[in-house]
Amino acid sequence: MSPPPESAPPGPLQRTTDPLDLSEPSRRAGRKHGGRAWQVLIGGAAVLVLLALCGLAVATLLQNQTNTPPAALPSDQPVVDQSAAADRSDLDSRDTDQSALTVKEVFPGKQLVPSDGGQTYQVLKTQAGTDCTVAATGEIGDLLVRLGCNQVVRATLRSPNGDYLVTAGLLNLTDAASAQRARDRIRQLLDERQGRFQGMVAGDGTEAVAKAAARVGWQVRGHYIAYCLVTRADGEQINSADAKTRDILYDMIEVYLNRGVLERRANGGVANQPTVSPTDGTASQSATRDRNPSGN
């Protein structure tokens, strides 16, 4: 029998209790990881400080915005449109249109041009008063007083061609309802010769405006009655088909007093209610001598 094979000599055994091998590469790696840890800590602290500074800056900015008064509106904001809406005046009543009429407002100069490019009327005399019976006689004057008329502003003018004399003006009544009642009743009283609109004499050569037969017109807007009386300067009768007389009535009542004077007042008041649409009427009134043919 052959002898058993010889085994290799046993090598050195590594005990689990042997110390760890901290060679130079291992130590360098440890120092490297430790440095990274410090960098992370320092970087985190820097971030916290930065966030704190940002928060302080934001708080300061918000406080400055709170304490700073608001800036003015840009010039392109519709400020004018907003104020214009609040500057309209309600002409339906003296309660909402309290300012009294003045001669300066209604007849401010010695010449009157009803519209741009229109003909010029010469203003001969103006008058403002609280007695409405100077503008209308008889039952018409009494009617105006009963319905609260407390002011008349009127003027006597000469037509552009000089052939006609004109007395025109505004009567100030209590409210729109009173003005409408007066309007409806005036025509009947004129037809029945129970009263007349009275022209205002403005010196030599103007007597016809108070005595001659006349064409008259009137129009209501709000609590006002705009009226006009036209006579021939020579005192002769006016033909009912006289186109020039109609033009004068339209110029004075519709164009000048309504669209001019009253429209400016409506736009320059303090209330913002709309005004009613104007309504008007025209008629003839006889000469004063026709009312008393006997001359007594």
Q: pLDDT by residue (tens digit) across 237-255?
A: 999 889 999 999 999 999 9
For residue 7, pLDDT beyond 70: no
Q: Which secondary-structure segment (H or E) carries 57?
A: helix 24-67
Residue 125: predicted pLDDT: 98
**Which is more confidently placed, 265 or 54?**
265
Beta-sheet strands, E only, within the chain: 111-112, 121-129, 136-137, 151-158, 164-172, 195-197, 214-221, 224-232, 279-285
Distance CA 124, CA 158 (A): 7
User: Considering only 63-67, 72-76, 221-225, 278-282, which range has the smallest mean pLDDT?
Assistant: 72-76
In 3D, which of 210, 206, 265 has the Cα closest to residue 234? 206
Looking at per-residue pLDDT, the higher value among 291 and 43 belongs to 43
Please state the rounded mean pLDDT for residues 131-152.
Answer: 97
Spatial contact of 169 and 192, defined as CB atoms under 8 Å apart: no
pLDDT-derived band at 36, boundaries 50, 70, 90: low
Q: What's the confidence (pLDDT) of residue 187?
A: 93
Kind of pairing between the strands at 164-172 and 214-221: unpaired
| 236 Cβ contact partners less than 8 Å away, ≥ 6 residues apart | 212
List C-alpha distances in Å: 251 to 236, 244, 268.
Answer: 22, 10, 22
**pLDDT confidence of 117, banded at 50, 70, 90?**
confident
Pairwise CA distance, residues 158 & 160, whole Å: 7
Q: What percentage of residues in the chain have a pLDDT greater than 70?
A: 62
- The angle formed by the CA atoms of residues 230, 235 and 238, to the nearest 5 degrees, is 55
Please check the confidence at residue 73 and state whether its pLDDT lies above 70.
no
At 118 the pLDDT is: 87
Helix (H, G, I), strand (E, B) or coil at 265: helix
For residue 120, how many other CB atoms are within 10 A of its CB?
Answer: 13
For 171-190, what is the mean pLDDT? Answer: 96
Contact 196, 153 (CB under 8 A): no
What percentage of the chain reaches a pLDDT higher than 90? 57
- Kindly state the tokens that stand for 293: 């043919």
Tell whether the model's pLDDT for residue 172 goes beyond 50: yes
pLDDT at 274: 35
Residues 156-168, mean pLDDT to the nearest whole number: 97
The residues that bridge with 231 in the sheet, in sequence order, are: 165
Q: Which tops the pLDDT comparison, 45 or 252?
A: 252
- Integer CA distances (angstroms), 10 to 5, 82, 152, in order: 15, 109, 143
Q: Does 161 have pLDDT greater than 80?
A: yes
The pLDDT of 148-152, averaged and rounded, is 97
